[in-house]
Amino acid sequence: MTSAPIENELGMRLVPVESGTFTMGAGDDVADPAYDERPRHAVTIREPLYVADSPVTNAQYERFDETHAARRGMRGFSTADDEAAIGVSWHDAVAFCAWLRERTGDPYRLPTEAEWEYTCRAGTDTPYHTGDRVPAAYRRHQTDDWHPTPVDLTVGQTPANAWGLTDCHGLVEEWCLDWHALYPNEPRTDPVGPASGVARVTRGGSHNTDVRHLRSASRSGALPATRSWLIGFRPVISTHDPTPAATAEDPTNDRRPHSWRPPTPAGEPFFDGPIRFVRPTDRGTVVRTHNHCPAVTWCRDGSLLAIWFSTEDETDREMVILGSRLAPGATAWTPASRFFDVPDRNLTGSALLHDDGTVYHFNGVGAASHWANLAPIVRTSTDHGHTWSQPRLIDATFTYRHQVIAGAFRTRDGALVLPCDAVSSGHGGTAIHISPDGGHTWRDPGASSPPPRFDAAEPGGWIAGIHAGITELEDGRLLAFGRGDTIDGCMPQSVSSDGGRTWRYEPSPFPPISGGQRLVLRRLREGPLLFASFTDPSDRDDPAGMRLRTPSGALAQATGLFVAVSVDDGDSWPIRRLIAPDEPSRTYDGGGWTGDFTTSDTTAEPMGYLAATQTPDGVIHLLSSALHYRFNLDWLMAGENVDWA
Residue 14 — very low, low, confident or very high, per pLDDT cuts 50/70/90? very high
What pLDDT score was predicted for residue 455? Answer: 80
CB burial of 165-174 (b: ≥16 within 10 Å; e: otherwise) equals bbbbbbbbbb
Asked if pLDDT for residue 249 goes beyond 70, the answer is no
Residues in the chain: 645
**Residue 521 near residue 492, CB atoms below 8 Å:** no
**Residue 588 near residue 596, CB atoms below 8 Å:** yes
**Residue 590 near residue 233, CB atoms below 8 Å:** no
What pLDDT score was predicted for residue 426? Answer: 87
Q: Whole-angstrom Cα distance, residue 17 to residue 82?
A: 24
Q: Whole-angstrom Cα distance, residue 351 to residue 359?
A: 10
**Single-letter residue type at 382:** T
**Single-letter residue type at 191:** P
The whole-number average pLDDT for the span 475-480 is 98
Mean of pLDDT over the chain: 94
Q: Whole-angstrom Cα distance, residue 329 to residue 261?
A: 11
**Single-letter residue type at 581:** P
Q: For residue 295, give the 3-state DSSP assignment.
A: strand
In terms of Cα–Cα distance, which of 421, 419, 440, 431 is closest to 358? Answer: 440
Asked if pLDDT for residue 399 goes beyond 80, the answer is yes
In terms of Cα–Cα distance, which of 630, 501, 643 is closest to 575? Answer: 643
Beta bridge partners of 562: 533, 578
Q: Which helix (H) or strand (E) holds 23?
A: strand 20-24
Each residue's pLDDT tens digit, 617-631: 999 999 999 999 999
Each residue's pLDDT tens digit, 408-433: 999 999 999 999 999 998 889 999 99
Residue 97, phi then psi, degrees to nearest 5? -65, -40
In percent, the amount of the chain with pLDDT more than 90 equals 87
Burial of 329 (0-12, 13-18, 19+ CB in 10 A): exposed
Q: For residue 635, give the 3-state DSSP assignment.
A: helix
In terms of Cα–Cα distance, which of 428, 372, 365, 30 is closest to 225? Answer: 365
CA torsion, ordered 518, 523, 526, 531, to nearest 10 deg: 30
Asked if pLDDT for residue 72 goes beyond 60, the answer is yes
CA distances in angstroms from 39 to 318, 471, 544, 574, listed in the order given: 18, 47, 53, 58
Does residue 603 or residue 249 have the better pLDDT? 603
Asked if pLDDT for residue 118 goes beyond 80, the answer is yes
CA 171 and chain centroid, separation? 25
In percent, the amount of the chain with pLDDT more than 70 equals 96
Domains, the chain, in order of start with CATH, read: 6-237 (3.90.1580.10), 275-400 (2.120.10.10)
pTM over the 0.85 mark: yes
Asked if pLDDT for residue 283 goes beyond 50, the answer is no
Following DSSP, what letter does each residue of 226-269 receive, concatenated? ---TTEE---EE-S---PPPPPPP-TT---PPP----SS-TT--
CA distances in angstroms from 354 to 295, 302, 472, 629, listed in the order given: 12, 12, 17, 19
**Residue 100 near residue 8, CB atoms below 8 Å:** yes
Q: Which helix (H) or strand (E) holds 120?
A: helix 113-121
CA torsion, ordered 518, 467, 440, 346, to nearest 10 deg: -90
